[in-house]
Chains A and B, each alone.
Chain A
Amino acid sequence: MARAATTADAFNAVAEPRRRQILDLLAAGELPVNDLVRTLGVAQPLVSKHLRVLRAVGLVHVRDEGRQRMYRLNGEPLKPIYDWVKAYERSWTERFERLDAVLAQLKEQEQGDDGNDG
């Protein structure tokens, strides 16, 4: 899967650890930007820069509440990433199911060798 050259997609947006951290914080619910700044321990302009990228790809939505900017997570753009990892996960699930069968046979052989149960 080719990555867009710009920050125009969710894959690129979440490749940045700090932005993933922001998404993790917002996963628990909507937060004002000041809370994000305080929790991240990072200067506000930097947090705002990351939030702009996340807004651009639709991963966060913003609303004004009085004088506060409130940010909330929008999970929909994450679905392609989820699907992408899930496809890879399936390949391991298949392997491990076959490995289960091999292990069951090895266990039987071992119990047979012991001459007892277990």
Chain B
Amino acid sequence: MTASDQAVVTLPTDTQILITREFDAPRHLVYRAWTTPELIRRWWSGDRGEVVSAEVDLRVGGSWRYVMTANAGFEVAFHGEFQEIVPDERIVSTEVFEAVPDAVAVSTLTLTALGGRTRLELLVQHTSLQHRDMHVNSGMEAGLQEALAKLEGVAQSQA
């Protein structure tokens, strides 16, 4: 795995999160994996749980919604509305974490072709620093869940 295959998260301004990553696949396949419900279900929850539902109405004004069951047993859901779509290149949509419904972010996905590879940039624009920070906190809590799960596993194996 080369350095550019690493996900890199930066905070360009007080209200933004920028995620960048390169993929060893052509742009149209990254776009397809990002927008096809059956494919979304296979990667979107990472190691944190299972995607139980992914709905995508891929058109301007259409909406999307993902529901996942976190490993700790509770459900989390996200939804949004598409604002701009350039197939294989760009998707702009709103994004709402349903547990915090007033934190409406605008998310811009940009795919750049680099030969047979693709550079992905996901810029999440929040309306306030507090909302942006809560969003980044979701990584912290999830990490804590993982750590607790591992501790539980170790404890059980020693019982």
Interface of A toward B, CB cutoff 8 Å: 1, 3, 15, 17, 84-104, 106-107, 110
Q: Interface stretch among B40-48, B83-91, B106-114?
A: B40-48
Beta-carbon nearest neighbor of A83 in chain B: B140
A-B contact pairs, 11 of them (CB 8 A): A85-B136, A86-B9, A91-B142, A91-B143, A92-B19, A94-B46, A94-B48, A95-B45, A98-B43, A103-B33, A107-B25
- In the complex, A20→B39 CA distance in Å? 40
A99 lies within 8 A of B43 (CB): yes
B24 within 8 A of A: yes
B7, B30, B45 pick with most chain A CB within 10 angstroms = B7
Q: Which of A90, A99, A104, A106 contacts B139 (CB 8 A)?
A: A90
- In the complex, A3→B127 CA distance in Å? 18
- In the complex, A27→B136 CA distance in Å? 24
Q: Which of A86, A88, A100 contacts B23 (CB 8 A)?
A: A100
B21 lies within 8 A of A88 (CB): no
A110 lies within 8 A of B137 (CB): no
Tell me how many residues of B have a C-beta within 8 Å of chain A.
Answer: 38
B100 within 8 A of A: no
Whether A103 contacts B24 in the complex (CB less than 8 A), given A84-B140, A91-B139, comes out as: yes
- In the complex, A87→B17 CA distance in Å? 13
Q: Which of A87, A96, A100, A103 contacts B143 (CB 8 A)?
A: A87
B32 lies within 8 A of A106 (CB): yes
A91 lies within 8 A of B23 (CB): no
Task: Determine the main DSSP class of A at the interface with B.
Answer: helix
Contacts of B53 in A (CB 8 A): none
B26, B43, B135 pick with most chain A CB within 10 angstroms = B43
Contacts of A100 in B (CB 8 A): 5, 23-24
B43 lies within 8 A of A102 (CB): yes
Contacts of A3 in B (CB 8 A): 133
Which residues of chain B from 65 to 90 have any CB-CB distance to chain A below 8 Å in the complex? none
